[in-house]
Amino acid sequence: FVVALHYFVNLSFADNFAAVRLKQLELSITKAPGRTAKFTCAVSGVANLDSTVIHWYRARAGQAPERILYYSSGDNYDPGFTKAKHSSNKVNNIFTLTISKASEEDNGYYYCACWDVH
């Protein structure tokens, strides 16, 4: 089998006349089982990237999205998700979600969301 990972990113939104934008850098990723998958989210229009919190979600077919983790100066995992499987990092304005050892259960749509802490 093949693991198909689809990625959709939140659209821009306005906050006090400044547009915060999240841009996906991959539309779809297909990986063989056991391989590593990476999704990236470019953030712009945020006053202070150091205070930006990025949330990563997965939505499986027929299910509501579930948050995997949020990144705020490091990974903070939701129940059922671990560092062994999922990790994230930030380089400048690019946030990355890494899925290790992809398997059939990783199929789904992946989303990033942004909270700009004022």
Q: How confident is the model over 78-105, as pLDDT tens digits?
A: 999 999 999 999 999 999 999 999 998 8
Q: How confident is the model at residue 12 (pLDDT cuts 50, 70, 90)?
A: very low
Structure tokens at 48: 């202070």
pLDDT (tens digit, 9 = 90+) per residue, 42-76?
888 887 888 888 999 998 889 999 999 999 888 99
How many Å apart are CA 80 and CA 10, to the nearest integer? 24
Longest CA pairwise span in the chain (Å): 47
- Report all structural domains of the chain as residue ranges with CATH numbers, in order of start: 3-116 (2.60.40.10)
